[in-house]
Structure 1
């Protein structure tokens, strides 16, 4: 069976890592990858030896590449096309009109929030994405909440399967550099890390309000990993709130495990998510999590012995969680919570389980 994964290629976060992880181990399927632009995903795919093809566009609205993709699918006898993201979904939907391959989609995010920083684009692309999803053969939702969301688009329940994300836990806890000394941090300092693109949906402003609330009660440093258009405005907001000394903008980094390893807690303050891979990366390092109640996070953090789940855009709740986590660091309870989280995540959200679940669905679709 030949599988072609299609994604725009501009992704830098969870969806990028998810797609690359599907190629990490041997498979009975012949898998290829197609992207529309050079970027970190394309570069990492090449470095990993993945069979990746670049279909270049003059701009993101250039549809001239559709015929090239269609020819590629026919020439390589592709059985199943697996698309990821709004642009890839739309292009495959247009090709599907005149092709006979099976088509599956993984829904990584809420279409209504993907372009929330641009209301005009949000309205147009959300409608196009939903139109595309309606014609798929199967949809993989990465949480039960996302399955419910997709059903509201009028898609039958039997076309939607919940498959939670997974990662490899084989590498174990990171013990290499960087160290806290590289960031002028001491072992007694309370350090929180947030790995997320600088985008409105990620909720950095709520985090900043919480840090401003607690700065007189606890000494906390936040390591912010990620890039995005909001960087300048977020830096300005930090200065206005008087927390610029507590915030470190680290930009894009590839050593996410190392960053979590030197942190006391990891943060996720998003307004919407599916099932964030970044939380599994935190769990792999035994780093406890404070997260908003989005997507499938309660499957990873079923109760308070694993971490904190707080309401969306609730700075007061985030402040309380940070204070509690700081107290638990002092008592030693925080490290116990991290070990508990790691053990649970490793047994429920392995990469092997993810790959086996997807392969099972591929076989079903192919046999239909």
Structure 2
């Protein structure tokens, strides 16, 4: 089976990295087209042997790009087109249906109460999304929360299948040597207690809440590590300066060595105002540390004392973080790896990337069986030549 994934961009982000993980475990032949920004994730995917096409869009309303995408899909002879993220859904679902693709699937990664991928959900945004949904056979919601929001927004319940994001547990496993390396890189003492956050530096993540909650606790033995980059960085650095804790807070920037960065931490905090899944919390737990979160649909019905919900305000969060730091102290002396690392079996059972990808592949196959295959694919040589000419596709 030939599958084409259409995604808005391939810079570093949750949906983009999730797509990369799925591509590494799928049992079908897959290619990817990015509407624009073939960034670092595109390079990762290409190095792993999956063809990535860059549609070369320069604006969000570039109608001729729809024709280019239609040509790419038509010549590629795909059995399934799978779209990810809002703009790719608008262009990809229309182009796939016009090209006669038998199966069109959508994954909805990030629909909040008021925003869709940091885009306010206006009537125009909703109309475009629901209008092009008529071209899609099924929508994968990454959580029950996302499924419920889609239904309220107007997507038919019988078109929605809940398949969660998957965790590549090997990619985020604890490593004591990486812990030592990262701490040395950022001049963090080996015996220090490190509280960490991970994600795009965006107002929705509310990392300022964590900074303010932790400021009175930051000293020579307690540090805060922020991993990520984004438009909120200047403001967050200003908050750090206002509290006089610049020497105790580390801005690590954008990093790809996720396992190493998580291994350097002792406690993970997720402080988002809105969240549709909460992959970073699962990765922290898979790394073996404890986690606190303000909202995390992925943890619904997971019974564990390794993670818990905390208040989304400074005093309550400060109280909960202080309790976790106090919990560490008895086991701290002589422990180069910090507090004991423990896994949560229920997370492995529910969110393993192999199982999640298998469910996506099963969905493709079930839909294709009902719809029937498309006509034979064009000869590979002629397809490659046509795609290279019209899209600048590359490996």
| TM-score, structure 2 as length reference | 0.83
Deviations 1:292-348 (A, max 9, x none): 22332335x534x1212124x322232122111111111349945x4143x332233
Q: Secondary structure at the match of 1:23?
A: helix
Q: Secondary structure at the match of 1:206?
A: helix
Q: What are the within-5 Å matches in structure 2 for residues 191-210 of structure 1?
A: 191-210=194-213
The alpha-carbon distance between structure 1 residues 122 and 253, as it changes in their structure 2 partners (threshold 3 A), is farther
Aligned residue in 2 for 1:286 = 288
Q: What are the within-5 Å matches in structure 2 for residues 15-34 of structure 1?
A: 15-25=15-25, 27=27, 29-34=28-33
Aligned residue in 1 for 2:54 = 54
- State how far apart, in whole Å, the 1-side matches of 2:35 and 2:100 are: 22
Q: Secondary structure at the match of 1:296?
A: helix
Shift of 1:243: 3.0
Asked if structure 2 preserves the Cα contact closer than 8 Å seen for 1:271 and 1:294, the reply is no
Q: Secondary structure at the match of 2:169?
A: coil
Q: What are the within-5 Å matches in structure 2 for residues 214-233 of structure 1?
A: 214-215=217-218, 220-233=222-235
Asked if structure 1 preserves the Cα contact closer than 8 Å seen for 2:227 and 2:253, the reply is yes
Aligned residue in 2 for 1:316 = 315
Shift of 1:8: 1.5
Deviations 1:7-48 (A, max 9, x none): 112441211111001111351x22111112221121111122
Aligned residue in 1 for 2:277 = 275
The alpha-carbon distance between structure 1 residues 127 and 204, as it changes in their structure 2 partners (threshold 3 A), is farther
Asked if structure 1 preserves the Cα contact closer than 8 Å seen for 2:107 and 2:139, the reply is yes
Shift of 1:97: 5.6
Asked if structure 2 preserves the Cα contact closer than 8 Å seen for 1:9 and 1:36, the reply is yes
In the alignment of these two chains, the number of paired residues is: 359
Q: Secondary structure at the match of 2:90?
A: helix
Q: Secondary structure at the match of 2:360?
A: helix
Aligned residue in 1 for 2:165 = 165
Q: Mark the structure with the bigger radius of gyration.
A: 2
- State how far apart, in whole Å, the 1-side matches of 2:242 and 2:365 are: 55
Q: CA RMSD for the aligned pairs?
A: 2.5
Asked if structure 2 preserves the Cα contact closer than 8 Å seen for 1:190 and 1:219, the reply is yes
The alpha-carbon distance between structure 1 residues 339 and 122, as it changes in their structure 2 partners (threshold 3 A), is farther
Among residues 218, 229, 236, which one is paired with 1:234 in the alignment?
236
Asked if structure 2 preserves the Cα contact closer than 8 Å seen for 1:110 and 1:272, the reply is no
Asked if structure 2 preserves the Cα contact closer than 8 Å seen for 1:224 and 1:251, the reply is yes
- 1 or 2 for the larger relative contact order (CA 8 Å, sep ≥6)? 2
Deviations 1:238-272 (A, max 9, x none): 21233323321111111111011011012211112
Asked if structure 2 preserves the Cα contact closer than 8 Å seen for 1:114 and 1:122, the reply is no
The alpha-carbon distance between structure 1 residues 115 and 161, as it changes in their structure 2 partners (threshold 3 A), is closer
Deviations 1:91-110 (A, max 9, x none): 12332563432211111111
Asked if structure 1 preserves the Cα contact closer than 8 Å seen for 2:97 and 2:104, the reply is no
Moved more, 45-54 or 253-262: 45-54
Asked if structure 2 preserves the Cα contact closer than 8 Å seen for 1:145 and 1:296, the reply is no
List alignment gaps of at least 5 residues for structure 1: none
The alpha-carbon distance between structure 1 residues 168 and 10, as it changes in their structure 2 partners (threshold 3 A), is closer
The alpha-carbon distance between structure 1 residues 135 and 213, as it changes in their structure 2 partners (threshold 3 A), is farther
Shift of 1:135: 4.4
Q: What are the within-5 Å matches in structure 2 for residues 37-186 of structure 1?
A: 37=36, 38-96=38-96, 98-101=98-101, 102-110=103-111, 112-114=114-116, 116=118, 124-125=124-125, 127-133=127-133, 135-170=135-170, 172-177=173-178, 178-186=181-189
Moved more, 232-241 or 191-200: 232-241
List alignment gaps of at least 5 residues for structure 2: 333-337, 371-395
The alpha-carbon distance between structure 1 residues 31 and 319, as it changes in their structure 2 partners (threshold 3 A), is same
Asked if structure 1 preserves the Cα contact closer than 8 Å seen for 2:26 and 2:357, the reply is no
| TM-score, structure 1 as length reference | 0.89
Asked if structure 2 preserves the Cα contact closer than 8 Å seen for 1:81 and 1:103, the reply is yes
